[in-house]
Structure 1
Amino acid sequence: MKYIRTPKPKRVKSHIPFRLNLLFFFVFLLLAALVGQLAYLQILNGSRFAAEVDRTDQTVVTGSVPRGMIYDSQGRALVTNKANNAITYTKSLDATAESMYHTANRLARYITMSTDGLQKRDYADYYLADTQAAKAVTKALPAAQQKTTSDSKLYKYQVAYVEKHLPEYTDKQKQAIAIYKIMNGATALTTVYIKNADVSETESATVGENLTAMSGVNLGTDWERSYPNGDSMTSVLGTVSSTKSGLPSDGLKAYLANGYARNDRVGISYLEKAYENVLKGAKSRTQVELGTNNQIEKQVQTFKGQQGGNLNLTIDSAYQTKVEAILKSTFSSALSSGAAAHSDGAYAVAMNPKTGAILALAGVAHNAKTGKINDDALGVLNRSFAMGSAVKPAMVLGALQDGVITVNDNTQSDDPIYLPSTPVKKSVYPVGTFGSLNATTALQVSSNIYMMRLAMKEGHAQYVAHTAMTMDNDIFTKMRRYFSEFGLGQTTGVDLPGEVKGQSGATMTNGSLAVGSALDLSYGNYDTYTLMQMAQYVSTVANNGYRMKPYIVKSISQTLSDGSNGPTLTTTSPTVQAKIPNTQAQIDLVKQGMWQVVHGTNGWTTATNLNTLNPGVAAKTGTAQTFTRADPTNPSSELLETTTLSFVGFAPAKDPQIAIAVVVPNLTTDSSEFNLTIGKQMISDYYALHNIKGNSGYSAHQSSING
């Protein structure tokens, strides 16, 4: 029997495509990877990542401190700090334009703000800080501008649109804009002053009651510079920038690199600027911890700050006031008489010849066109003048060094000098008054001829009257080298900015040596010097040859946290810059000549009205023929011939404690004695303030400084 196998039924073919299976496989792999990653995060590293989420950032916030103060030599305050109530704002990291907008609007309800200086951009920034207003502005922009992908470009378009379509604002809204401008200009985690002057008690109280509704706003204290002595010496003390002006544009990068904020106040002139590093103090430091939401979680003050160091000056404000008074009253008299109509002003300085300490410096600047007079004490070191015969003691000492005269052989002819095509070169007294003069008498009567003949000897002049004279080509170099030993024509190094060297005249004329100018240089009628140089120079003579560096800051001290005086940090030591190579006998010879300038009996003695001062003084007057424009602002205006009066002296002559220098430039008369009036009163006031007793048996006509 034949069996037939029943065939196997066909398997039903799957309806799921192969590609779908492959997709399921990849999904499975991805799910497996995700499960693995979750296991890695949750099981293996869960605790570490949780800590990272809870992590806080730390940053340091600095706060301003009061500047150091400035005192005179007797401890009197010249510059102090006046405390003011203030409204402050500290910008948080998550502060938005809109949040500041609402805060500014609310704060404007409680305080009154100045709206001076608001610009169109300030109005636009404020307007766009309102989110709804910004969206409306965007819709009003051209389609192409709306589609920009750059936020900064879009904002630029928005600002331009708003500036062209500014709404009308009320006064109170304008004040809110002024507040918003300050807030918006602050950097994160910095504190700025919204209002730091004239904050009323009502404003402080109202703001204080609403602080919780104004994020970042707080009550604080600010300070401003105060001047107990008024305007006295302000041109020396200098000024400080305001929080509004902030750091000066010149040197901005350097300030920022040294840790300053843009709205910090800094010294911008004179002592305030020169001693900025001392006066600024050390800012407070607060360590701030920020959470992941940029909210401040903890604040710890690590350093409460240190008020700036104090400057203790060499100047006695009581004496300074008297010097300013005599200077101003004398110049007023000169104006009233008509002699000072074209004058630049008047200047005076007093110095301790043994140490270089500045005892007083004062100046008045006169605008010959407008007639306005301003305090200009710094003109003592940043303006230079032809000082005339006041430099003659230096000329004589240089000639003694050169060997053209000696202590025992110094008599010269007093005959005038005649050069071709040049007015006769003579002294102020008539030709023939003296046949010859020695060094001391030449100083006493202020002989120009004597000084010119010294220059001729130093330059080995070949001279015949009315013919061309020749001299060594280095005559200018030689004389200026001698003058420079006393500081004339050199910066003195005084610790104030802006000092100038003065000007040196040309040495050649039409290709030839200017021999006539060399003669003028010998008696102070050519080069120009500052009054500070003159004070240093006469001090060098007074102290027997030591050129002392002038200084105005005696010491730097600290104020303690309770406001009391702290320790002295540094003290200025007197500095000898050089010793002139003259013998004591040579210096004594010149001192004797300066004594005779005051105490001589000859009718041409130049400063006899000082001979009533007891103890006696030694001095030298100066008269220089100068020129100035009738209109100082017009270089082509008429050139006027004027006279500059100067004076140098030291007192008491036997043991000098004070050396002074005075200049009154560009007077229209040479017969006045304004320089002597100022000089005499300066010494008299010094004697009175320091209780210097007169010498018994003193005679106005003592013949010798040693008598």
Structure 2
Amino acid sequence: MKEQKGKKQKTYISIRLNIMFLCIFVLFSAIIMQLGKVQIVEGEAYKNQVESSQNAITSIPVPRGQILDREGKTVVNNKSLRTITYTRVKGITSEDILKTAKDLAKVLEMPEQDINKLTDIDKKDFWMQLNSKRAETKITKKDIEKFKEKGIEGKELDKKIEDLRRGRVTEVELAELTAQDLKVLAIKSKMSSGYQLTPQIIKKDVTDEEYARISENLANFPGVDATVDWERNYVNGNLFRSVLGNITSSEEGLPKENLDSYLVRGYNRNDRVGKSYIEQRYEDVLHGTKEEVKNITDKLGNIVSTEIISKGKSGNSLTLTIDMELQKKVEESIEKNLRAFKSSEPLLDRAFVVMTNPNNGQILSMAGKKIVEKEGKIEVEDLALGNMTTSYELGSAVKGATLLTGYETGAIHPGDQFYDAPMKFKGTQAKKSWNVSGFGNINDLRALQVSSNVYMFQTALKIAGVNYVPNGSLDIKQGAFDTMRYYFKQFGLGVPTGIDLPNEIIGQTRKVDSQPGFLLDFSIGQYDTYTPLQLAQYISTIANGGYRMQPQIVQEIREQSIKEEVGKVIRSIEPVVLNRIDMKKEHIDRIKEGFRWVFQEGDGTGVKYFKNAPYKPAGKTGTAQTVYGGDDPIGRNAKGERMECYNLTLVGYAPYDNPEVAFSVVVPWLHDDKNGINSIIGKEVLDAYFDLKQQRIHGETTSTGSSKQN
């Protein structure tokens, strides 16, 4: 029994051992098979993976957002261009780049401007690369010893030698470079100028043949890609062009003054960014989100594959407050009248118009033009920015602010009368109205209607606490100037308007009011200077009942348009009230009635042009005696002194009982103060506004766009 039992136990152990050995065999077989698969089947792939390295994520620019006008019409978009790019990877040598450049030069024709950009240094360095043995002979051992004797070693020595060698390349040797060589150099320069793993544009807008030959043979051009890029397209040409601004080219890249700010926000050094005005001010809105790509390179630095980490998104769009159809008509009016009056007005070279919605501050049109002479021909350039970057004495247009200051200080009261006749002060010439004999007894409304200077002089004296004494002297303290400026600033005269654009000026405030009589000049707009935009803010503040609104050039930020559909609104720019003027409503209404008289009643200074206008305008004309402020020598006399002239201005709004549009017109440096150019332009731009309004109400097609039903 014991013997049988022992045999059974041995058999049982043997079976277990066999099972264990079988498991071990199967396990090792599986391991061997897997090792075989890894080594034989997938070995090459794993080898390549080991030899490869994952590079830093590369950001690829996306198209900028569009800019639309208030009617939804495209103002700025992007034009697609077939483009050849080069991405430089780690480990690439100058010789590698040269070889690829030579191959590309057999296919690509380079723009003449790229060839012309090549410097003598570029050409000499290239000649030395092509003629390395000859270049070596230009430096002797003696040259090197001289540098070493001066203690020059290392990298500094290398640079000194290279500079000396370059300097010894002669013009005759440079002449050896053929047209084909220069084309190769132009391509090579672009390839070398980029940053590692950052696509560098070699040529934009390539031909169909160039694009096809390169895209079909990319394997023969390491690092080269045939892709689609974009460039900014300003749909309306020069219309409103200066305010739209510009962007940098890929060659310019990021502005040096803001380099760090851009880099920390993920920009590449050769990215195109807004560099002026709207394009610059709204860069963060327009630039979009870049596509992020991970490049996989082999041990030689060649890109073997790419992986998209995140898809890019085009920039958002801006909707401007500007009506581009109105802008076109305003610019046409300015240019037409500048040309028409230039022959009789030698100093005349510019004019400005600003049109706003006085109730919310939105700028409907901001136009300026300047006459320039080129090669004996008169040309007219855009100067829209001059509305906020240049200032002038604006004359009687500001008399509304003078009277309101008088009311609020208690110096005068609505209905007060003064006798309009020449005023004589000790030691000075008589101060008088344009009607030299005077207007007799007049009240405040009549003073606005006929543009009485004397009424404003009397008001200024009352503000200063001084009574007029014929042939007497004036004793006016600085406080009177401060008081008047305090109230003028409430209208935006002499302070920033708050427009959402850079580089606005505030005009010129005289720092030393040395003569008491200057206060009288101040009261009629012939002392401090203001911009046309400030003048528009001033009249808008009166038109809307006393609220100074921040001027707006952008009203909405939208998602990028898809096909013909305008993107949805992301953010609306709400109107901003900067301040409510410290003046009673009845006083503002009194001035508004006076402005109605100017355009609508009797012998008002604007009646000739505006009385029969169906849109019932109100406003104020202005004339300022001044001196020429331009750079043309024609504006100086034989002694080199600036010639006397006039600035003609105009402000207004319509309808007078429910204003929906306000405007300013400024035309500097005229000989004839009665030629009416200011009123002619003012009438034409108001007509244009209300004509467009009627056309849109009735769904009519306008000259610069398609039919639009409001």
Q: TM-score range by the shorter chain?
A: 0.7 to 0.9
Q: Which residue of 2 aligns with 1:112?
A: 109
Instruction: Describe the shift of the 1:254–1:665 C-alpha distance in structure 2 as closer, same or farther (beyond 3 A).
Output: same
Q: Which residue of 2 aligns with 1:575?
A: 576
CA deviation string 1:590-629 (max 9, x = no partner): 1110000011214x64433201111311110000001116
Pairwise CA RMSD? 2.5
Q: Which residue of 1 aligns with 2:471?
A: 466
Aligned-partner SS, 2:643: strand
2-side partners of 1:186 and 1:206: how far apart? 23
- Asked if structure 2 preserves the Cα contact closer than 8 Å seen for 1:124 and 1:159, the reply is no
2-side partners of 1:549 and 1:528: how far apart? 20
Match runs of 1:320-469 below 5 Å:
320-336=327-343, 338-339=344-345, 341-367=346-372, 372-407=379-414, 409-434=415-440, 436-469=441-474
2-side partners of 1:568 and 1:145: how far apart? 70
Instruction: Describe the shift of the 1:51–1:286 C-alpha distance in structure 2 as closer, same or farther (beyond 3 A).
Output: closer
Aligned-partner SS, 1:87: strand
Pick one of 649, 652, 660 that aligns with 2:652: 649
- Asked if structure 2 preserves the Cα contact closer than 8 Å seen for 1:145 and 1:154, the reply is no
Aligned-partner SS, 1:321: helix
Match runs of 1:210-609 below 5 Å:
210-336=217-343, 338-339=344-345, 341-367=346-372, 372-407=379-414, 409-434=415-440, 436-509=441-514, 514-559=515-560, 564-602=565-603, 605-609=605-609
Q: Which piece of structure 1 moves more, 84-93 or 468-477?
A: 468-477
- Asked if structure 2 preserves the Cα contact closer than 8 Å seen for 1:353 and 1:657, the reply is yes
Aligned-partner SS, 1:93: coil
Q: Which piece of structure 1 moves more, 604-613 or 321-330?
A: 604-613
Pick one of 94, 97, 106 that aligns with 2:94: 97
Task: Output the TM-score relative to the length of structure 1.
Answer: 0.85
Instruction: Describe the shift of the 1:347–1:87 C-alpha distance in structure 2 as closer, same or farther (beyond 3 A).
Output: same
Q: Which residue of 2 aligns with 1:19?
A: none
Aligned-partner SS, 2:568: strand
Q: Which residue of 1 aligns with 2:140?
A: 142
2-side partners of 1:606 and 1:53: how far apart? 85
In the TM superposition, what is the alpha-carbon distance from 1:508 to its structure 2 partner?
3.4
In the TM superposition, what is the alpha-carbon distance from 1:139 to its structure 2 partner?
5.0
Aligned-partner SS, 2:582: coil
Q: Which residue of 1 aligns with 2:708?
A: none
In the TM superposition, what is the alpha-carbon distance from 1:412 to its structure 2 partner?
2.2
Q: Which residue of 1 aligns with 2:200?
A: 192
Which protein has the larger Cα radius of gyration, Structure 1 or Structure 2? 1
Q: Which residue of 2 aligns with 1:82?
A: 79
- Asked if structure 2 preserves the Cα contact closer than 8 Å seen for 1:502 and 1:527, the reply is yes
Aligned-partner SS, 1:482: helix
CA deviation string 1:302-351 (max 9, x = no partner): 12211112111011111111111111111111113x12x11241100100
* One-letter identity of the residue aligned with 2:141: A
2-side partners of 1:421 and 1:439: how far apart? 29
Aligned-partner SS, 1:556: strand
* One-letter identity of the residue aligned with 1:611: K
Gaps of 5+ in 2: 1-46, 698-710
2-side partners of 1:210 and 1:128: how far apart? 30
Instruction: Describe the shift of the 1:664–1:412 C-alpha distance in structure 2 as closer, same or farther (beyond 3 A).
Output: same
CA deviation string 1:82-112 (max 9, x = no partner): 1111111010111111100111111101111
- Asked if structure 1 preserves the Cα contact closer than 8 Å seen for 2:342 and 2:349, the reply is no
Instruction: Describe the shift of the 1:405–1:610 C-alpha distance in structure 2 as closer, same or farther (beyond 3 A).
Output: same
1-side partners of 2:92 and 2:696: how far apart? 72
In the TM superposition, what is the alpha-carbon distance from 1:159 to its structure 2 partner?
5.0
Pick one of 164, 182, 187 that aligns with 2:168: 164
Match runs of 1:667-682 below 5 Å:
667-682=670-685
* One-letter identity of the residue aligned with 1:304: K
Aligned-partner SS, 1:529: coil
CA deviation string 1:372-418 (max 9, x = no partner): 531111111111111100000111111111011223x4222323321
* One-letter identity of the residue aligned with 2:493: L
* One-letter identity of the residue aligned with 1:601: G
- Asked if structure 1 preserves the Cα contact closer than 8 Å seen for 2:89 and 2:196, the reply is yes
- Asked if structure 2 preserves the Cα contact closer than 8 Å seen for 1:615 and 1:693, the reply is no
Instruction: Describe the shift of the 1:292–1:201 C-alpha distance in structure 2 as closer, same or farther (beyond 3 A).
Output: closer
1-side partners of 2:404 and 2:606: how far apart? 20
- Asked if structure 1 preserves the Cα contact closer than 8 Å seen for 2:89 and 2:197, the reply is yes
2-side partners of 1:287 and 1:497: how far apart? 38
Instruction: Describe the shift of the 1:392–1:642 C-alpha distance in structure 2 as closer, same or farther (beyond 3 A).
Output: same
1-side partners of 2:494 and 2:543: how far apart? 19
2-side partners of 1:224 and 1:61: how far apart? 21
2-side partners of 1:564 and 1:591: how far apart? 43
2-side partners of 1:505 and 1:475: how far apart? 14
Q: Which piece of structure 1 moves more, 120-129 or 312-321?
A: 120-129
Pick one of 64, 69, 76 that aligns with 1:67: 64
Aligned-partner SS, 1:271: helix
2-side partners of 1:630 and 1:223: how far apart? 40
Task: Output the TM-score relative to the length of structure 2.
Answer: 0.84
CA deviation string 1:200-254 (max 9, x = no partner): 1111122223321221111011211112212111111112222233333443444
CA deviation string 1:255-305 (max 9, x = no partner): 344433332222222211111221111211112234554443542111221
Pick one of 650, 657, 663 that aligns with 1:660: 663
CA deviation string 1:103-153 (max 9, x = no partner): 1111101111131110122123334545xx445533542225668873674
Aligned-partner SS, 1:474: helix
* One-letter identity of the residue aligned with 1:687: F
Instruction: Describe the shift of the 1:213–1:430 C-alpha distance in structure 2 as closer, same or farther (beyond 3 A).
Output: same
In the TM superposition, what is the alpha-carbon distance from 1:164 to its structure 2 partner?
2.6
Gaps of 5+ in 1: 1-49, 695-707
* One-letter identity of the residue aligned with 2:455: Y
1-side partners of 2:631 and 2:95: how far apart? 58
Aligned-partner SS, 2:122: helix
2-side partners of 1:379 and 1:457: how far apart? 36
Pick one of 691, 694, 703 that aligns with 1:691: 694
Instruction: Describe the shift of the 1:290–1:134 C-alpha distance in structure 2 as closer, same or farther (beyond 3 A).
Output: same
Aligned-partner SS, 1:612: coil
Q: Which residue of 2 aligns with 1:14?
A: none
CA deviation string 1:31-63 (max 9, x = no partner): xxxxxxxxxxxxxxxxxxx99966834410111
- Asked if structure 2 preserves the Cα contact closer than 8 Å seen for 1:461 and 1:472, the reply is no
2-side partners of 1:88 and 1:658: how far apart? 50
Give percent identity, aligned residues only: 35
* One-letter identity of the residue aligned with 1:311: L
Q: Which piece of structure 1 moves more, 477-486 or 224-233?
A: 224-233
Instruction: Describe the shift of the 1:205–1:135 C-alpha distance in structure 2 as closer, same or farther (beyond 3 A).
Output: same
2-side partners of 1:630 and 1:554: how far apart? 35
1-side partners of 2:267 and 2:129: how far apart? 28
